[in-house]
Chains A and B, each alone.
Chain A
Amino acid sequence: MSIITALWALGILALVFGAALGYAAIRFKVDADPLVEQIDEILPQTQCGQCGYPGCRPYAEAIANGDDINKCPPGGDTTIKKLADLMGVEAKPLDAAQTPAIKRVAYIREDECIGCTKCIQACPVDAIVGASKQMHTVIIDECTGCDLCVEPCPVDCIDMVPLASSIERWKWDLNAIPVKVLES
């Protein structure tokens, strides 16, 4: 008799908790996959497509679904390290052979531009201004250096130039600084 009581009690408890959990799953449902958001935060948002996906978010979704984490050349090793930490996998060396070590921005040789607007259509971040049959130019501050505008240009007037160093961006060079110690 006592065993039946126990079974009943456990059964009812299971039903109650099951109902509570089921209700919570519906009531507090998370809309988007937060993992994708986290990965997207880490990616450098250049939207360059070098990973093979049309932008950073699609790649973030692909990583969340198990794609390799080492397909982002603009992010470099730092990004891979962060992604490895987040995903709990081993950090791998960068997949793509050539990594642009220095930050670059697109530069349009303006007297050669024919105003075809092809680069404007290619730019993922709308960093090129211009109109049909009018000269185009790049907003350097908005350019992510993704290279996507170089290929469509019919007259090859777009160069990727290294970003000039400035006093604000300068990093201290350890070797250039003499240590100064005063003797008493």
Chain B
Amino acid sequence: MPTLFQQIQAGKVWDFHGGIHPPSRKERTNQKPVALLDIPDRLYIPLRQHIGVAGKVLVKVGDRVLKGQALTQADNAMAVPVHAPTSGMVLAIELHTSTHPSSLAEPTLVLAPDGMDEWRPRKPLDPEQVDIYTLLERIQESGISGMGGAGFPTHIKVNVKQPVDYLIINAVECEPYITADDMLMQERASDIIAGIEILVKLLSPKAVLIGIEDDKPIAAASLKAAIGQRDNYFVREVPTKYPSGGEKQLIQLLTNKEVPAGRRPLDIGIVMQNVGTAFAIAQAVLDDIPLIHRVVTVAGETLAQQQNVLALIGTPISDLLNACGFQAEPQQRIIVGGPMMGFAIADWSVPVVKTTNCVLAPTENELGAASEEMDCIRCGACADACPASLLPQQLLWYSKAHDQDKLAEYNLSDCIECGACAYVCPSEIPLVHYYRVAKAEIRETQREALKAEQAKARFDARTERLEREKQERLERNQQLAAQRVAQQQASGQASQSAAAVQQALARTQQQSDQPLDKAQIIAERERKKAEALAYQQQKQQAQTATPAENTAPGTAEDPRKAAIAAALARAKAKKQAEAQPEAIEQPAPAETAASDTPDMDAKKAAVAAAIARAKAKKQAEAQPEAIEQPAPAETAASDIPDVNAKKAAVAAAIARAKAKKQAEAQPEAVEQPAPAETASSDTADMDAKKAAVAAAIARAKAKKLAEQAEAQQQTEVKATTQQAPSAEPQEPVAPPEQDAKKAAIAAAIARAKAKKQQNSEPL
């Protein structure tokens, strides 16, 4: 029994399961020489034309680039650069429709050729003299990715650590119409062989097998002539059958080996390269011509000259067609790729990319459009035709049912999307398209699963971190407490500490924060209430006299109040260093002051917009008092007209933040900003009942108020609220618990109303 290698040497060719024999229609283009095109007016060069990631852009708009100059830089292993196909000016780097079935826009460099076609300096390499790393680098830098269709970066595919038995050169080109590789082999066979020699140097295989279909006798003959006396180069003619050019199918044809599911050919010691890729490698190494052009078959009966052309990468498809005498018919379809695996494009300005091997402009009679899909009749013709020995009808059911587990069970991932099943289907079911959708869904599910896993890890890490921080805080507090106890014990006798406690108590009692009995509590409250009211009245008087008078601590009659006010002012001053006391007490005036300033600039306009948004939100959510804010603002505007924009922005942000807080706070707190603007600031003991009444009145008025209330209405509202505090002295002091309860109820009602209002009139 002869070994496999002996059988291959003897010229044995095996067979694979299934396959179809569509009319090839190659005779239209495989006799004519490859035509050269004029340089088009515009070149659209997608920054990413391979599987992987785009490189870093090296040029900018307006730069002049030379032919062959790199436009992007490969900054990682999976990236290959793109190059300027001719000299010219970079017009733009923008989104342009991609040469992809989705027709989604992708980043594209637009080049305006200057017609000079001026080369950058070229440095050819001698493959005999340089090591394989230099060769690999040159292959990557020349932007070479697989030209058969998938566009996998070649330098990765040929940089192998495992021993390689067979290097297979795929010259089958089994899809109808396409003759690009055929013509390349007829015209440039010696260059292809030179490229293969470079590949051999990189991979050192036992043998080189060149697979070619038997309908290309001229190409096969020229290859054989170019190979000459080289050892272990075998040209193997395989019978014409679609899809012999599939990677796994050709491996089976030439070596009788099957690539296991989910594995690569390299795992069984085989590397396959397209014949066009071999040619590109030869050009890159021997002539330092990066991948800037490729042979494209332009065919279809709407064209006067169906032929192969050498197209620059980036040439719009429409230019390509027009150069071949294109006469569009109504509802013309343009197909990129062959009739079996290609896709129709809607936008004819999409460019030729590194993987574009064919452009079809068929007539309606030549390639029929989609016909009515009928139900599957379970004839099994698809299973007979499937070159991957799958069960297409089962896959169809599960694709329609979105049953991903079953699809995996029936090896959907091994489908090469050749279209043989759809071709033979008597019900004209577009089977492959169902599989493509299912594959995309499976990819999406996998992506989601990965993302969920990452999110979970991040969530767990965060939870753990929060827990740890909490624990640390607790420990620190315990340590501090222990230290305090130790200090107290160390500081002296128990009597001394007791005296200290007594002193402290006395101090706090003086500050009336910790009264000793109930009578004292009440007395203290009464006293504070009286103080507060007096203070408010005094302030209100001051306010009515001069609305924006400085509420400086000095004006307060009570020294203790003054101290509190000073502390308050200090704290606020810390938050906004440059703001005036008016601005501190009244953030809203500051913000409106900015918008009212005559010399309003663009930034202020933006601030005003933000204020408008804040107001809208406020109105929707907050208590009606919030509407009062613009009212005093008007009065304050005249006082601080020269407030600068930055201050205004800070104030605006604070105001927005406050407005939001307002919505959720207690009624006392809600009430606070409003009187603050009317300069009756201390509301610690304000009567909540009165406040609720005021709120109700204001609410009623607020309903009338538009977002930008008229000044008259605002004055009214302001007057109402001013009445409220002034009426207070006559009111009996309600018990504080009752106050709080009422206040809470009022707040809840107000919130509910605000929400209703928001729902009824979305802003």
* A-B pairs with beta carbons under 8 Å apart, 9 shown: A111-B606, A114-B653, A125-B459, A126-B458, A142-B454, A171-B444, A174-B430, A181-B422, A181-B423
Q: How far is the CA of A144 from the CA of B454 in the complex (A)?
A: 10
Partner of B339, one of A55, A177, A180: A180
Q: Which of B124-132, B249-257, B320-328, B431-439 contacts A (4 or more CB under 8 A)?
A: B431-439
Q: Which of A12-20, A28-36, A41-49, A91-99 contacts B (4 or more CB under 8 A)?
A: A41-49
Partner of B452, one of A44, A166, A172: A44
CB closest chain-A residue, reference B650: A114
CB closest chain-A residue, reference B340: A180
Q: How far is the CA of A111 from the CA of B603 in the complex (A)?
A: 11
Q: How far is the CA of A46 from the CA of B98 in the complex (A)?
A: 33
Residues of B within 8 A of A (CB): 22-23, 98, 100-102, 104, 106, 176, 333, 335, 339-340, 342-344, 367-371, 373, 419, 422-423, 428, 430, 433-434, 436-437, 440-441, 444, 447-448, 451-456, 458-459, 461-463, 606, 610, 613-614, 617, 653, 656-657, 660-661
Q: How far is the CA of A163 from the CA of B451 in the complex (A)?
A: 14
Contacts of A125 in B (CB 8 A): 455, 458-459, 462
A2 in contact (CB, < 8 A): no
Contacts of B453 in A (CB 8 A): 45
- In the complex, the answer to whether A124 meets B367 with C-beta atoms within 8 Å is no
- Given contact pairs A155-B657, A182-B367, enumerate 19 new A-B contacts (beta carbons under 8 Å): A44-B448, A45-B453, A45-B456, A45-B459, A124-B459, A125-B458, A125-B462, A154-B657, A165-B102, A165-B104, A167-B106, A169-B444, A170-B440, A172-B437, A177-B430, A178-B369, A179-B373, A179-B428, A180-B339
- In the complex, the answer to whether A172 meets B371 with C-beta atoms within 8 Å is no
Contacts of A127 in B (CB 8 A): 458
Q: Which of A44, A46, A174, A179 has the most CB of B within 10 A?
A: A179
- In the complex, the answer to whether B433 meets A166 with C-beta atoms within 8 Å is no
Bits for A116-143, please: 1 = Cβ < 8 Å to B, else 0. 1000000011110000000000000010
Q: How far is the CA of A112 from the CA of B452 in the complex (A)?
A: 30
Contacts of B661 in A (CB 8 A): 154
Q: Which of A40, A43, A170 has the most CB of B within 10 A?
A: A170
Q: How far is the CA of A79 from the CA of B232 in the complex (A)?
A: 57
Chain A interface size, as a band, is: 35 or more
A65 in contact (CB, < 8 A): no
CB closest chain-B residue, reference A40: B456
Contacts of B367 in A (CB 8 A): 180-182
Q: How far is the CA of A178 from the CA of B106 in the complex (A)?
A: 23
Given contacts A169-B444, A179-B422, contact A156 B454 (CB under 8 A): no
* Main SS at interface, chain B: helix
A5 in contact (CB, < 8 A): no
CB closest chain-A residue, reference B422: A179
- In the complex, the answer to whether B430 meets A179 with C-beta atoms within 8 Å is yes
Given contacts A125-B458, A154-B657, A156-B613, contact A181 B433 (CB under 8 A): no
A149 in contact (CB, < 8 A): no
Contacts of A169 in B (CB 8 A): 444, 447
Q: How far is the CA of A81 from the CA of B101 in the complex (A)?
A: 32
Q: Which of A40, A125, A127 has the most CB of B within 10 A?
A: A125
Q: How far is the CA of A58 from the CA of B33 in the complex (A)?
A: 71
- In the complex, the answer to whether B104 meets A167 with C-beta atoms within 8 Å is yes
Contacts of B343 in A (CB 8 A): 177
Counting residue pairs across A and B whose Cβ atoms lie within 8 Å, the total is: 119
Contacts of A44 in B (CB 8 A): 448, 452
CB closest chain-A residue, reference B342: A180
- In the complex, the answer to whether B433 meets A172 with C-beta atoms within 8 Å is yes
The list of the 8 closest CB pairs from A to B, nearest first, reads A45-B452, A179-B370, A171-B440, A170-B102, A154-B657, A125-B458, A172-B436, A45-B455
- In the complex, the answer to whether A177 meets B101 with C-beta atoms within 8 Å is yes
Q: How far is the CB of B257 from chain A (nearest CB, A)?
A: 31
Q: How far is the CA of A133 from the CA of B573 in the complex (A)?
A: 17
- In the complex, the answer to whether B101 meets A172 with C-beta atoms within 8 Å is yes
Q: How far is the CA of A156 from the CA of B657 in the complex (A)?
A: 10
Partner of B656, one of A144, A154, A179: A154
Contacts of A166 in B (CB 8 A): 104
Q: How far is the CA of A126 from the CA of B423 in the complex (A)?
A: 51
Given contacts A167-B106, A180-B340, A182-B176, contact A174 B617 (CB under 8 A): no
CB closest chain-A residue, reference B367: A180
Contacts of A165 in B (CB 8 A): 102, 104
Q: Which of B102, B344, B461, B463 has the most CB of A within 10 A?
A: B102
- In the complex, the answer to whether B444 meets A124 with C-beta atoms within 8 Å is no
CB closest chain-B residue, reference A55: B459
Q: How far is the CA of A44 from the CA of B437 in the complex (A)?
A: 22
Contacts of A112 in B (CB 8 A): 610
Contacts of B441 in A (CB 8 A): 171
Q: How far is the CB of A36 from chain B (nearest CB, A)?
A: 13
Q: How far is the CA of A56 from the CA of B459 in the complex (A)?
A: 10
Q: How far is the CA of A40 from the CA of B453 in the complex (A)?
A: 10
Q: How far is the CA of A114 from the CA of B102 in the complex (A)?
A: 40
Given contacts A142-B454, A156-B613, contact A178 B459 (CB under 8 A): no
- In the complex, the answer to whether A182 meets B104 with C-beta atoms within 8 Å is no
Contacts of A177 in B (CB 8 A): 101, 343-344, 370, 430, 433
Q: How far is the CA of A170 from the CA of B105 in the complex (A)?
A: 12
Given contacts A177-B101, A180-B335, contact A116 B455 (CB under 8 A): no
- In the complex, the answer to whether A182 meets B656 with C-beta atoms within 8 Å is no
Contacts of B610 in A (CB 8 A): 112, 155
- In the complex, the answer to whether A184 meets B23 with C-beta atoms within 8 Å is yes
- In the complex, the answer to whether B653 meets A126 with C-beta atoms within 8 Å is no
Contacts of B369 in A (CB 8 A): 178-179
Q: How far is the CA of A179 from the CA of B372 in the complex (A)?
A: 10
- In the complex, the answer to whether B653 meets A182 with C-beta atoms within 8 Å is no
Contacts of A142 in B (CB 8 A): 454-455, 458
Q: How far is the CB of B299 from chain A (nearest CB, A)?
A: 13
Contacts of B370 in A (CB 8 A): 177-180
CB closest chain-A residue, reference B430: A179
Q: How far is the CA of A45 from the CA of B614 in the complex (A)?
A: 33
Bits for A53-94, please: 1 = Cβ < 8 Å to B, else 0. 001100000000000000000000000000000000000000
Q: How far is the CA of A180 from the CA of B177 in the complex (A)?
A: 14
Q: How far is the CA of A162 from the CA of B657 in the complex (A)?
A: 27
Q: How far is the CA of A9 from the CA of B339 in the complex (A)?
A: 81
- In the complex, the answer to whether B456 meets A167 with C-beta atoms within 8 Å is no
Partner of A174, one of B106, B433, B461, B463: B433
CB closest chain-B residue, reference A114: B653
Contacts of A183 in B (CB 8 A): 368
Q: Which of A126, A155, A182, A184 has the most CB of B within 10 A?
A: A182
Contacts of B433 in A (CB 8 A): 172, 174, 177, 179
- In the complex, the answer to whether B339 meets A179 with C-beta atoms within 8 Å is no
- In the complex, the answer to whether B371 meets A144 with C-beta atoms within 8 Å is no
Contacts of A126 in B (CB 8 A): 458, 461-462
Contacts of A43 in B (CB 8 A): 452
Contacts of B23 in A (CB 8 A): 182, 184
Q: How far is the CA of A181 from the CA of B371 in the complex (A)?
A: 9
- In the complex, the answer to whether B455 meets A144 with C-beta atoms within 8 Å is yes
Q: How far is the CA of A167 from the CA of B101 in the complex (A)?
A: 9
Q: How far is the CA of A47 from the CA of B373 in the complex (A)?
A: 43
- In the complex, the answer to whether B440 meets A172 with C-beta atoms within 8 Å is yes
Q: How far is the CA of A154 from the CA of B613 in the complex (A)?
A: 12
- In the complex, the answer to whether B371 meets A179 with C-beta atoms within 8 Å is yes
- In the complex, the answer to whether B456 meets A181 with C-beta atoms within 8 Å is no
Q: How far is the CA of A171 from the CA of B100 in the complex (A)?
A: 12
Q: How far is the CA of A56 from the CA of B453 in the complex (A)?
A: 12
- In the complex, the answer to whether A182 meets B459 with C-beta atoms within 8 Å is no
Q: How far is the CA of A184 from the CA of B370 in the complex (A)?
A: 16
Contacts of A178 in B (CB 8 A): 333, 344, 369-370
Q: How far is the CB of B372 from chain A (nearest CB, A)?
A: 10
